């Protein structure tokens, strides 16, 4: 038997005691290796993760690991049968499985490339949007640079449009009638970013992750989603933000040594 990720997790959760509408799976880490278990594993650092029985999508408890195969083991622990994907002493093979961690939802790496800051691109519009919303001008430019490379006519394969690459529903929500208008896109994107920064108490990393993958994904994973696209996007925006801050004459923070 070789189920895929949803089937394997579903089976794992079915082996747990039923509790209202959710079950607990433990994500256990030891020596930089990850396993899932129905009880905390001896010798591992384990974090409980709730699996909602009514969830539309099975959560990714592994992280960004691509496609790999593994084994679910059965063993006795404290007088009860427990199941784990780590081969601990006394374990016996229960089933084989294949995991494909998710590539993303609306997540994307962005159309823009990390490069030299482009301070002349829509400068008036960014300055006005920053003043109106209170969102850092350099941060808005970093988002636009990563999203579209400042191309007002950019349309992504997933349907995002304009300088700030707003999805149609998001554009409508934030009052953008013409998503291919640089001014409207920047203003709408700035208002949306202001709301995200307020939601995440000024945490730019979470705001960027939500801008990329959606608020729901950040909520589901309680942080930056483990999508390859989102991880690359957040890293790109962070690097660009530092470059824009420096190019605009602000002091740039560096790690202490």
Chain-centroid distance of CA 148 in Å reads 19
DSSP structure class, residue 146: H
Of 109, 147, 173, 235, which is the active-site residue? 147
**Among candidates 186, 180, 190, 56, which has minimal Cα distance to 136?**
190
Residue 172: partners with Cβ closer than 8 Å, 6 or more residues away: none
CB atoms within 10 A of CB 2: 10
- Is 109 among the catalytic positions? no
CA 18-23-27 angle, 5° bins: 145
* Residue ranges of E strands in the chain: 22-30, 33-37, 45-52, 67-77, 80-84, 92-100
Active site residues: 147
């Amino acid at each position: 038997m070789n189920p895929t990720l949803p089937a394997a997790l579903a089976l794992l959760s079915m082996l747990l005691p039923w509790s209202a509408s959710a079950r607990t799976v433990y994500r256990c880490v030891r020596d930089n290796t990850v396993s899932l278990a129905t009880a905390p594993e001896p010798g591992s650092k384990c974090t409980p993760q709730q699996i909602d029985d009514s969830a539309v999508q099975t959560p990714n408890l592994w992280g960004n690991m691509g496609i790999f195969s593994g084994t679910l083991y059965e063993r006795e622990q404290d007088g009860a049968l427990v199941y784990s994907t780590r081969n601990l002493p006394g374990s016996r093979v229960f089933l084989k499985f294949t995991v494909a961690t998710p590539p993303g939802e609306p997540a994307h790496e962005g159309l823009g490339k990390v490069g030299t800051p482009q301070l002349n691109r829509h400068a008036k519009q960014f300055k006005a949007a920053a003043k109106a919303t209170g969102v850092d001008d350099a941060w808005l430019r970093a988002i636009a640079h990563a999203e579209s490379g400042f191309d007002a006519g950019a349309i992504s394969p997933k349907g995002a449009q304009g300088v700030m690459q707003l999805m149609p529903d998001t554009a409508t929500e934030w009052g953008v009638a013409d998503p291919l208008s640089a001014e409207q896109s920047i203003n709408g994107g700035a208002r949306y970013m202001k709301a995200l920064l307020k939601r995440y108490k000024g945490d730019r990393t979470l705001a960027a992750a939500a801008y990329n993958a959606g608020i729901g994904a950040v909520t589901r994973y309680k942080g930056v989603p483990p999508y390859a696209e989102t991880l690359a996007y957040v890293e790109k925006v962070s690097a660009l933000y530092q470059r824009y801050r420096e190019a605009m004459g602000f002091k740039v923070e560096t790690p202490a040594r």
